[in-house]
Amino acid sequence: MTEAKGPIFAAGFQAITKGGYPVLLLPDVNNDARQREGKPPVYHWLPNTVRLARKENGDYKFSFLHFVGVRDEETHVGATGTEEVAGALVGFATTSTPPPGVLEKVKEEQKARFRGSNDHFWGWRSGVEPDLRPAPIVSNTMSITDLAPGSDGGVPVIDPPGGGGASGDSPGGAPMPPTGVVAYLTPEA
C-alpha cells in the first residue's frame, strides 16, 4: 500500500492562475506507484503570492493606532526630563491561501492538462479522481519596508530570528533586503 510521500521538486512546477490567483503545483513522488495500485495521484499546491487578508465584508484585516503624548518622570518609569512623544502602530494580516473555489478550478485545469499522460510523476492514468493537497511549508520569511531611509540616509536592517547577524543574511543564507520593518510568518499546522 503506497502512501503519498510528499512533493518532488525534480519533476518541476506547473503554474496555474485562476481568478487572478497564481498557484504552483508539484506532483507526489509516489504518484506512479499509487496509480498502479488503483489509488489517486496526489498533486501538492503552493501559493505563489502573499496578500493582505480580508474580512468577510471585504475590508482588509488592518489596524492603525496613532498616539501622541508627553513623557516625563511622573508618567514613565525611568524617564528623565520632559519630551513629546508621537508615533503609530500598524497591524495587518496576510494570507496566501486562494479564496474558496479557486483551488477547484486549479484542480480542473490540472486534470485537463495531464489526463491520459504517461509522464511518470505528472500523468493521470487511473480513473480515480486526483487529490489536491497543500504542500508542507516549514519556513517562510516576509519583509516589509516603507522605503524611507533614515535621517542619515541609511536603511535599518533587523536581524531575523535564529541568526543572520550584522551581515543581514537570512537563516537560509540568502541576503535579506534592507527593510524598515520585518515580519516573520510561520504557517499554522
Distance (Å, whole) CA 15 – CA 117: 17
pLDDT, one tens digit per residue, over 79-137 is 788 888 888 888 888 888 888 799 999 999 999 999 989 899 999 988 889 999 998 88
| Number of other residues whose CB lies within 10 A of the CB of residue 135 | 16
**Alpha carbon of residue 101 to chain centroid:** 19
> Is residue 101 within 8 Å of 23, Cβ to Cβ?
no
Half-sphere exposure of 188 (CA within 13 A, CB side): 3
As a dihedral over the C-alpha atoms of residue 6, residue 8, residue 14, residue 20, rounded to 10 degrees, the angle is 40
Distance (Å, whole) CA 4 – CA 24: 18
Chain position carrying cell 492514468: 125
Average pLDDT over residues 128-152: 78
Q: How confident is the model at residue 139 (pLDDT cuts 50, 70, 90)?
A: confident
Q: How confident is the model at residue 160 (pLDDT cuts 50, 70, 90)?
A: low
pTM of the model: 0.62
